[in-house]
Amino acid sequence: MNNLLKTTTLTIAAAAVSMALAAGAQAKEWRGWNIHPPEYPVSTGMEEFARIINEKSGGDLEAKVYHGGVLGNQPDAIQQVRLGGLDWAVFNLGPLGEVAPEANVVSLPFIFKNVDAMHKVMDGPAGQQIADGLIKAGLQPLGWYDSGARSFYNTKHPIKTPADLKGMKFRVMSNDLYVQMVAALGGNATPMAYGEVYQSLKTGVIDGAENNYPSYDSSGHFEAAKYYSVTQHLILPECLCINKALYDSLSDDEKKIVQESADASVTVQRAAWAARAEKSKEKVIAAGIAVNEVADKQAFQDAMQPVYDNFLKSNPDLADLVKAIQDAQK
Ligand code: BDP
């Protein structure tokens, strides 16, 4: 979509929301998109958000979660929440990088040293700059959820060095940076919807994918790809966000309720995440998965230089943000 068309569409969507509100449709249910099954930590956080909003507003605000990706795949849902076809969601910052360049900096492999460093950065000025980028794209961020660290898994053999990816085809999320990341490691990557990965692993359309333990577990991918190698190449926060026009249409009191509900849900989600990450790891190991730690992570990090170079060449205005994130972890 060109920029003019995008702006026009967003303006029309905003007008539609205002008209609906003027018509007294305040208590209209906010439809929330979620890709995960109901018992997943993201789902727990979203349910909590919906519950508190309803409680605090005395039923005037009503948010509902649609779990399991029934409202469509993630790239489509992102467009829907931007345009107001859906009201809110939890999106991974990976696919969000496609609509907000600022959000893409967290998809530079190994940019965060660990999850604590990611929290520190996201709660500081860099996180604010990323939030501003999402706002420009029509999404109002309300909080950052956890999704741990992503590692490679495959059907063939353990990955210990980048050379072990050679000749294998990996599914990645919808973001060109991940195609470049896998290519820089010597493998092939193909972007694919999350819901298609299980079948594609089973039928050999792909040899592997990459994700955190809870998703490797809940998606059943561990049943199809038995080698999990702890590369931890991406630590991606997730965004609890709401359509910006809808957010802007709220009164100050309502905005306060929405933000307080989001804050409370972040605390619940992060705790649920920590517990589930441990549980899923134990579960897949008990199921006979060959988990290998990667002794020489530096070799993987060194291979990422062309990905960084290419990114900074195409986004020179984001060089300061990348540097600020790196410096904040020193
Ligand atoms: C999970 C994320 C989810 C992504 C999925 C994927 O929570 O948002 O859709 O990975 O790999 O960890 O597509």
Sign of CA dihedral 186, 284, 143, 49: positive
Q: Is 218 in the pocket of ligand 1 (CB under 6 A)?
A: no
% pLDDT > 90, the chain: 91
Mean pLDDT of 95-113: 98
Q: Is 211 in the pocket of ligand 1 (CB under 6 A)?
A: yes
Residue 15 scores a pLDDT above 90 = no
Token pair 């561990």 in the structure block, residue: 222
Whether residue 280 contacts residue 73, with contact meaning beta carbons closer than 8 Å, is answered with no
Pocket test for ligand 1, best of 70, 76, 92, 236 (most atoms within 8 A of CB): 92
Q: Is 131 in the pocket of ligand 1 (CB under 6 A)?
A: no
What are the structure tokens assigned to 311, written together?
Answer: 């990114």
Pocket test for ligand 1, best of 76, 147, 234 (most atoms within 8 A of CB): 147
For position 28, what pLDDT does the model report? 87
Torsion of CA 102, 105, 107, 109, to 10 degrees: 170
Does the reported pTM lie above 0.85?
A: yes
Q: Is 90 in the pocket of ligand 1 (CB under 6 A)?
A: no
Q: Is 280 in the pocket of ligand 1 (CB under 6 A)?
A: no
The average confidence (pLDDT) of the chain is 94
Q: Looking at the CA of residue 214, tell me the nearest atom of ligand 1.
A: 12
Mean pLDDT of 85-94: 98
Question: Among 3.40.190.10, 3.40.50.1010, 3.50.7.10, 3.40.190.170, what is the CATH number of 149-235+291-327?
Answer: 3.40.190.170
Q: Can you tell me the distance from the alpha carbon of 85 to that of 131, in angstroms, rounded to the nearest whole number?
A: 21
For position 180, what pLDDT does the model report? 98
CB atoms within 10 A of CB 20: 15
Same fold, 28-147+236-279 and 149-235+291-327: yes
CB atoms within 10 A of CB 224: 21
Mean pLDDT of 187-208: 98
Q: Is 215 in the pocket of ligand 1 (CB under 6 A)?
A: yes
CA 76 – ligand 1 centroid, Å: 14
Over the stretch 117-158, which tens digit does the pLDDT of each residue have? 999 999 999 999 999 999 999 999 999 999 999 999 999 999
Q: Is 152 in the pocket of ligand 1 (CB under 6 A)?
A: no
H helical segments located in the chain = 3-22, 41-56, 74-83, 93-96, 115-122, 125-136, 176-184, 197-202, 213-218, 221-224, 244-248, 252-286, 297-302, 305-314, 319-328
Lateral strand order in the sheet of 188-191: 188-191, 169-172, 208-211, 149-154, 227-235, 290-293
For position 156, what pLDDT does the model report? 98
Whether residue 162 contacts residue 299, with contact meaning beta carbons closer than 8 Å, is answered with yes
Q: Is 261 in the pocket of ligand 1 (CB under 6 A)?
A: no
Please tell me the residue having the least CA distance from ligand 1 atom 9.
194
CA 23 – ligand 1 centroid, Å: 37
For position 7, what pLDDT does the model report? 46
CATH architecture of 28-147+236-279: 3-Layer(aba) Sandwich (3.40)
Sign of CA dihedral 270, 271, 277, 283: negative
Q: Is 212 in the pocket of ligand 1 (CB under 6 A)?
A: yes
For position 27, what pLDDT does the model report? 62
Pocket test for ligand 1, best of 34, 35, 36 (most atoms within 8 A of CB): 35
Query: Could you tell me the residue ranges of all domains in the chain?
Result: 28-147+236-279, 149-235+291-327
Query: What one-character-per-residue DSSP string does 221-261 give?
Result: HHHH--EEEEEEEEE--EEEEEEHHHHHTS-HHHHHHHHHH
User: In terms of Cα–Cα distance, which of 253, 231, 237, 212 is closest to 300?
Assistant: 231
Residue 242 scores a pLDDT above 50 = yes
